[in-house]
Amino acid sequence: LDQNPPLVESTEHELRGLEYLRQLGTLLPDLVSHRTLARQVIAGDRPAGELRPLQTSIDTHYAALIQLDARLGAALRTSRPELGADAVPAAQVRGWQTCKDGRQDKAGSDAAHSALIGSLRTLIGHVGLTPQAVNALGGYGARGKSDAQARKIVADARAGAGGGCFPLVLVP
């Protein structure tokens, strides 16, 4: 390995990315659950107090993400302009505060949650994009163009989730 610095550097970058993705992987399902529970609270089907434990968990996830981003963000380029202003972790924290304050109606809450979840998925895709996967797939390009290919991708994703795989970004 000492004689192959690019391989060492690539491996170190992958490890940083995996550490970052682990944090994002815990945050995404909680945000989706919060959106669902917030809908139920707004509809009057659940008491608002049921949101608090989930909000505390998400607050903790975002605090950890901000610390992680301070340490790894430069190497993973999580503030670069191509990422988009809303996907930067600090902007996501602001978006989370909007979702959390609970002052929106159903449409406003859904829009705020959807924007935040979309921004998080953008960040996951940005950090998780691995150049070596391009060679394994035969280059950049759309996958799953046919119904059969699309079903296989979804089945593989579900199988991966059962085996412990976390965030897989599928773009329609």
Whether the CB-CB separation of 112 and 95 falls below 8 Å is answered with yes
Between CA 24 and CA 64 the distance in angstroms is: 10
Predicted local confidence at residue 171, as pLDDT: 53
Encoded tokens for 170: 């599928």
What is the rounded average pLDDT for all residues in the chain? 81
Task: Say whether pLDDT at 132 is over 50.
Answer: no
Q: How confident is the model at residue 164 (pLDDT cuts 50, 70, 90)?
A: low
Whether the CB-CB separation of 34 and 99 falls below 8 Å is answered with yes
Predicted local confidence at residue 85, as pLDDT: 86
Predicted local confidence at residue 18, as pLDDT: 84
Q: Summarize pLDDT for 67-121 with one digit per residue, the tens.
A: 999 998 888 888 867 678 888 999 999 999 999 987 889 999 999 999 999 999 8
Predicted local confidence at residue 140, as pLDDT: 43
Q: What is the mean pLDDT of residues 20-44?
A: 92
Predicted local confidence at residue 98, as pLDDT: 92
Those residues with Cβ within 8 angstroms of residue 169's Cβ, 6 or more apart along the chain or in another chain: 121, 124, 125, 128
Q: What is the mean pLDDT of residues 29-35?
A: 94
Q: What is the mean pLDDT of residues 144-152?
A: 78
Element (H, E) at 138: none
Of 22-36, 63-77, 81-95, 129-143, the poorest mean pLDDT is in: 129-143
Of 109-123, 131-145, 158-172, the poorest mean pLDDT is in: 131-145
Place of tokens 């609970």: 102
Between CA 108 and CA 102 the distance in angstroms is: 10
Q: What is the mean pLDDT of residues 18-32?
A: 90
